[in-house]
Amino acid sequence: MNIAFIGTGNVAWHLTQGLEQVGHQIVSVYSRHPDHAATLCKQLYDAQIKYDLDFTETNADIVLVAVADDALAQVIDSLILPDEIIVAHTSGSKPMQIFEDYPYHCGVFYPLQTFSKQHPLNLSEVPFCIEASSNRIEDILLQLAKSLSDRVYLINSRERSILHIAAVFACNFVNHLFVQSKDILDQAGIDFDILKPLIRETVQKALQTDPKMVQTGPAIRNDRQIIEQHLAYLQKSDVDKRRIYQLLTESILNF
Amino acid sequence: MNIAFIGTGNVAWHLTQGLEQVGHQIVSVYSRHPDHAATLCKQLYDAQIKYDLDFTETNADIVLVAVADDALAQVIDSLILPDEIIVAHTSGSKPMQIFEDYPYHCGVFYPLQTFSKQHPLNLSEVPFCIEASSNRIEDILLQLAKSLSDRVYLINSRERSILHIAAVFACNFVNHLFVQSKDILDQAGIDFDILKPLIRETVQKALQTDPKMVQTGPAIRNDRQIIEQHLAYLQKSDVDKRRIYQLLTESILNF
């Protein structure tokens, strides 16, 4: 397929190159900053820098909008699209209905992964969440996703927003617990590296089986003596850690 | 070295076999349940089942006590040890001072990892935390640990208890967040598998760099609109998830 990209961030960086590797053509790249578009175009076979959002003259079959969430509405507002072109965004948190001006030829093409430009990534293992305004467009987006990845799912906007909430727990909050854990060790002059093999093994076990079945620790054993010891130690540390310890211990006991 | 084991749980299961593989000899295995000792002895070259805790006649250089934390004090109380033998426990949460009757020849030999009998594990990557009541015994325990692993640390009882608190955050609580995340998806009929590549990549990034540097999500962006949406959704779910979402969001903002 011929694809026009809007955006040059981490997602666009990986998707453009990945799509070319499986035989699609990136015809143009637009960015608010034309030099960013130029940098990305250099990575691509024959993509042209696009300086505006008027696609009436393009030979693209699809326009993929891969910009930051808070820029998405404004970019879509500025689009000029002919009826025969498909437009899709790559956002996990914005509904398909954001394309209210293009209700018959829009969709969502959301790769559920964290991307960094420096860090190579195997797109074939990235789950793609697809949603479309019609069966015809759904088929086209599914096919495009399947050309990249073995994990393609039909996910509507409501489900995508629930996935986002679940990801906040399992990724953003988990990372924050790593931050807190490292902070506890830093304050005591202990190297966080000592804990990493245990963390890796714990995460692997949780993901290979059911996390419910492998819960360990003083909370699940209701080991009051250890819990009180830990809370007493955290009292000397900041209040957040103590509150997190208390709430998560309670929550494990409740579950 | 000649080693006598007390306990036949997951830690004893892996340590006995690992120690034999690098050339040590397990001379005996004791368990409250002699049939458990028999099962483990079958995995070992020439270990004998021991039926009591009297070690005055043993040819062991060291007795390793690898029993559950809540059984440790009672086992130690029942020990009869000659002066020339070293005794060490493998617990992360009990102090070395639990060996009050043997203050001159005791220590801690703590493998900081989660063990399951079914699951093979490379001991050479397991961090061992060593503590001892004298330099001479410290040297012996360090040497024993280094024969198994490339990651050997001198960690005193206070530091070990701080490590335990940090592990509660980075392992036990992290697993509970996976439980909550899966529960959110289960309730909506969405497969937890969709989220696993993102979780794996997030954890890898956090451990390869500094978790503080890779925090993402609505909390760190202070994206109030998304946060309120998520809290509104969780209101319909159980109260624990909402409280966890609120507290961890605040804590990320505070950090």
pLDDT tens digits along A27-43 = 999 999 999 999 999 99
Residue B137 has pLDDT above 70, yes or no: yes
Chain B residues near residue A172 by CB distance under 8 angstroms: 215-220, 252
Q: Given B69, B169, B199, which is nearest A170 (Cβ)? A: B199
Q: Given A153, A169, A181, which is nearest B177 (Cβ)? A: A169
Q: What is the ipTM of this complex?
A: 0.91
pLDDT given at position B237? 65
CA distance A71 to chain B (A): 13
pLDDT tens-place string over residues B47-94 = 999 999 999 999 999 999 999 988 999 999 999 999 899 999 999 989
- The closest alpha carbon to A142, from A81, A86, A66, A97, belongs to A86
pLDDT tens-place string over residues B191-250 = 999 999 999 999 999 999 999 999 988 999 898 989 999 999 998 767 899 999 999 999
Residue A237 pLDDT grade (very low, low, confident, very high; cuts 50, 70, 90): low
Domains of chain A and CATH, by start: 2-155 (3.40.50.720), 160-254 (1.10.1040.20)
CA distance B33 to chain A (A): 22
pLDDT given at position B208? 95
- The closest alpha carbon to A201, from B22, B163, B174, B153, belongs to B174
* Cross-chain residue pair B218–A126, CB shorter than 8 Å: no
Chain A residues near residue B206 by CB distance under 8 angstroms: 174-175, 178
CA distance B1 to chain A (A): 26
Contacts of A59 (CB under 8 A, 6+ apart): A2, A27
Q: Round to whole Å and give the CA distance between B11 and B8.
A: 8
> What does each C-alpha distance from B53 to A107, B11, B41, B80, B133 come to in angstroms?
71, 19, 17, 6, 22
Residue A116 pLDDT grade (very low, low, confident, very high; cuts 50, 70, 90): confident
Give me A41's structure tokens.
Answer: 């175009």
